Amino acid sequence: MQNAVVGRLNAAGSALVYGTYLSGAQGISRGNGIALDSAGNVLVGGATEAADFPATEGQPFNNATGGNVFLAKFTPAGVLIYSAFLGPGGAFTVNVAPNGNIYLGCLAESADVPSPSLPFGGTAPTIGEGYYLFLVSADGSTLLNTIYLPFSVAVAVDNGGNADVLGQGIVSTTAGAFQSSLSNYYDQVVVAKIAPDGQLAGATYTGTFGGTLIAAERDGSVVVAGGNTVFNFFPSITIENAASYVTNTAVPGEIVAIQGYGIGPAVGVTSAPTAGLGGVRVYFDNFAAPVMYAQANQLNVQVPWEIAGQSTTRVQIQYLGAPAGSVSLAVSPALPGVFFIVNSDGAFNSPANPARPGDFVAIYGTGGGAMSPAGITGGTWPLTPLCYLTQSVSAAIGTESAQVLYGGSAPTLGTGFFQINVLLPSDLPSGAQTLSVAVGGVASVPVAISIQ
């Protein structure tokens, strides 16, 4: 008899915190995938043939007479929260999205998979087994989507909740792909980004590199590994906060970096924000985005202030008059990122020029959202009047709060920048600390600040 087992070691690896079987007495059970959510809960997926597998009540999935896909969730202490059947087949990977929803890579009976999404087009098989992504709600109660994949895959999930999949097949790639076509018939390794609704966000071949493992980076790129090689690239058009590199969200007025391939001139060009720089034009819906830097693999642009109030926006890139890629993004009121910190003496904060406890510093960043009076897309903040962030502003140094003296425009800089002045706590220890700001309750990625 084979039984799935779930166990946890202490941080030192010297003792078992808990260990438990996850199986029934009437058949084989295998745990094939495991992941942790942000709260430290353990997600386990696999296959079971046990009719008495301990599935909790109220889970709206089928218990097939043969092998079943199962999903189970445990607390950090090893207490079972739920376990559910997802129909005939077996799960081989488990990944958790930032919102807690769960992707399972499954080999499932196609006839029992309800209305799958088809990101690569075509049709799903109606008989026999096929490869699918199951997207399940965090509480295990709802099958949110089933996504048919024409090949076996390795799976990672990015910070926007999209599934990055690695497999081998012949597919249609998207604009801005790393490699848009096959170099030979045997060169069929594919990386694709699939949105939670099952739509294809991007697809590319990986050149002659044939990986078997995949991981998602914070900046929207993926790491693919296999054999003795590790390879990092962007699988699709990716838009990130230019200061924090956080992806998948657009904020009105924000300065963003757009990553891709073939989206601009081979040699980078830079300018004051302008439309059509280096033959590149970028639109957020129908609003032109000023371009500050254009190169084949990266564009720096300002998100138009005019998209304020929208829930989503469609970004379209044109290069030399031809479409060069597009992507849909959620629009957020704020997603602050910090570029740099200036001490009270007007010099950049650094280990060689630390700030003094009890002094003030000015923090410059982007993604703070709406200002009053409003910013002008592609414009420069005036010396007067000052414009103020309309949402709440706070700051922290390590675990201590810092008093905010000012939060608003950065005079003489572009309207994509914000400036937040804070008073440093007088009891800060010397050395490297972390600083973060929050606008509208959304915190920035912490950055380093040096204290004298």
Residue pLDDT tens, the chain, 452 long? 678 889 999 888 899 999 988 888 777 888 899 999 999 999 999 988 887 788 775 444 455 555 788 999 999 999 999 988 888 888 999 999 999 999 999 998 888 887 899 999 988 888 888 999 999 999 988 889 999 998 888 999 998 899 999 988 888 888 878 888 887 766 688 999 999 999 998 899 886 666 788 999 888 899 998 777 888 888 889 999 999 999 989 999 999 999 999 999 999 999 988 989 999 999 999 999 999 999 999 999 999 999 999 999 999 999 999 999 888 899 999 999 999 999 999 999 999 999 999 999 999 999 999 999 999 999 999 999 999 999 999 999 989 999 999 999 999 999 999 999 999 999 999 999 999 999 999 999 999 999 99
Which string of b and e fits 204-227 if b means at least 16 CB within 10 Å?
bbbeebbbeebbbbebbbbbbbbe
Regarding whether 268 and 326 lie in a shared domain, the answer is yes
What lies within 8 Å, CB to CB, of 68 at 6+ separation is 47, 48, 49, 53, 62, 85, 86, 87, 88, 89, 90
Looking at the domain assignment, is residue 27 inside a domain? Answer: yes
pLDDT score at 61:
44
Shared-domain flag, residues 353 and 323 = no
Residues 149 and 280 in one domain: no
Other CB atoms within 10 Å distance of the CB of residue 320: 11
Give the whole-angstrom CA distance, residue 87 versus residue 146.
12
What is the pLDDT at residue 65? 52
Query: Do residue 327 and residue 351 come from a single domain?
Result: no
Q: Are 417 and 410 in contact (CB under 8 A)?
A: yes
Q: What is the pLDDT of residue 129?
A: 85
Antiparallel, parallel or unpaired: β 249-250 and 322-331: parallel
Collapsing DSSP states into helix, strand and coil, what is residue 9? strand
Q: Is 222 part of any domain?
A: no
Q: Which of 211, 177, 210, 213 is nearest to 193 (CA)?
A: 177
pLDDT score recorded for residue 109: 82
Residue 224: inside a domain, yes or no?
A: no
Residues 48 and 65 in one domain: yes
Residue at which a domain ends, from 310, 331, 352? 331
Task: Output the domain CATH number for residue 390.
Answer: 2.60.40.10
Instruction: Report the alpha-carbon distance of residue 253 to residue 305 in Å, rounded.
Output: 5
Pairing type for strands 16-22 and 4-9 reads antiparallel
Question: What is d(CA 234, CA 245) in angstroms, rounded to the nearest whole number?
Answer: 13
Q: Three-state SS for 110?
A: helix
Q: Is residue 229 part of a domain?
A: no
Residue 278 phi/psi, 5-degree rounding, is 60, 25
Considering the domain architecture, whether residues 53 and 187 belong to the same structural domain is answered as yes
- Angle value at C-alpha 292, between 286 and 298, nearest 5 degrees: 85
Q: Please tell me whether residues 295 and 379 are part of one structural domain.
A: no
> Using CB atoms within 10 A of its CB, is residue 43 exposed (0-12), middle (13-18) or buried (19+)?
buried
Q: Are residues 402 and 380 in the same domain?
A: yes
The domain in which residue 281 lies consists of 238-331
Structural domain ending residue among the three candidates 305, 331, 357: 331
The reply to whether 208 and 281 lie within a common domain is no
Question: Same structural domain for residues 211 and 263?
Answer: no
233 domain residue, yes or no: no
**pTM of the model as a whole:** 0.81
Phi, psi of 174 (to 5 degrees): -110, 165
**In-domain check, residue 221:** no
Shared domain check, 134 and 64: yes
Choose one of 331, 362, 390: the last residue of a domain. 331
Q: How many domains does the chain have?
A: 3
Residues 165 and 46 in one domain: yes
Spatial distance between the Cα atoms of 90 and 182, rounded to a whole number of angstroms? 32
Helices (H), 49-139: none
